[in-house]
Amino acid sequence: MAAWTTDDIPPQQGRTVVVTGANSGLGLATTRALVDAGARVLMAVRDVEAGGRVAAELGGAVTVGRLDLADLTSVREFAAGVDHPVDVLVNNAGLMGIPKARTADGFEMQLGVNYLGHFALTGLLLDRITDRVVTLSSGLHRLGRIRLDDLNYDSGRYERWTAYGQSKLACLMFAYELEYRFTGSGSRLRSMAAHPGYAATNLQSRTETVADAVMGVLNKVIAQSGEDGALPTLHAATAPDLPGGMYIGPGGPGEMWGAPVPVGSSAASHDRAVRRRLWDLSEDLTGVPYPV
């Protein structure tokens, strides 16, 4: 079977996609490919001025909306402004390996942006989504452990990479649990997860440590492009017959690069008891109850 590429994206005319973090990195590559395929894309971005410049360059049916995933008020305002059906929601935006910080609502920043903000956004948009939700995880979800007793590092030592791993494990568990609930409620909606492998983006330049320089070198030597890194997301978002609950990543060595294929995930990601407790805790923290 030939490797899946953007040439395999079905025509997207008449379809609407919301992409978070759409003005740079993987989000921009995802948005560009969807627009080229004919989709209407709502770019959900923190900086609407920068997003507007990108939208003007892209052409096509592109609109821009302000979304700050580190502020639940902004998440609610964005969701309230979406007054039309959304075929696909792509939960793409994220932070990686940053120093300890807090969101406007007091959440640990990586968990708040990567996971809790998207959990709230998905729940608030769910009555307008008509096809599927795609949530970005990472191969580094395997570093994570869901700290149900201290999810936001309110006590104890903060370690940025285990915090990142927790946030991406939470994203993956959310995608699986959402699909479980869709199926159990008889919904026709689908929930997918994807990860980009090692893709060269600006995500690797925010740790404020020597790791930024190291990853900058690795980006040039071993990383695949942002366009290739976006392929798993695009496959999860557009493949018409893809079953819900799939996790799509690069098929090459170590899932670092290569064409998108279904991939496996850690045993922890399939722990239904923890997934259920994380879900309940997420509803409590965000104040967003789900109808499924």
Catalytic residues: 164
How far is it, in rounded angstroms, from Cα 71 to Cα 76?
Answer: 9
Backbone φ and ψ for 131, nearest 5 degrees, come out as -130, -65
What is the layout of strands, in order, in the sheet containing 247-250? 62-66, 40-45, 16-20, 86-91, 129-136, 190-194, 247-250, 260-262
* Distances from the Cα of 55 to the Cα of 61, 78, 179, 212, angstroms: 9, 18, 32, 29
Quick check: 84 and 41 in contact, CB under 8 A?
Answer: no
d(CA 212, CA 203): 10
The number of angstroms, rounded, from the C-alpha of 261 to the middle of its chain's C-alpha atoms is 17
The span from the CA of 38 to the CA of 60, in Å, is 8
Kindly tell me the burial class for residue 83, based on how many C-beta atoms sit within 10 Å of its own C-beta (0-12, 13-18, 19 or more): exposed
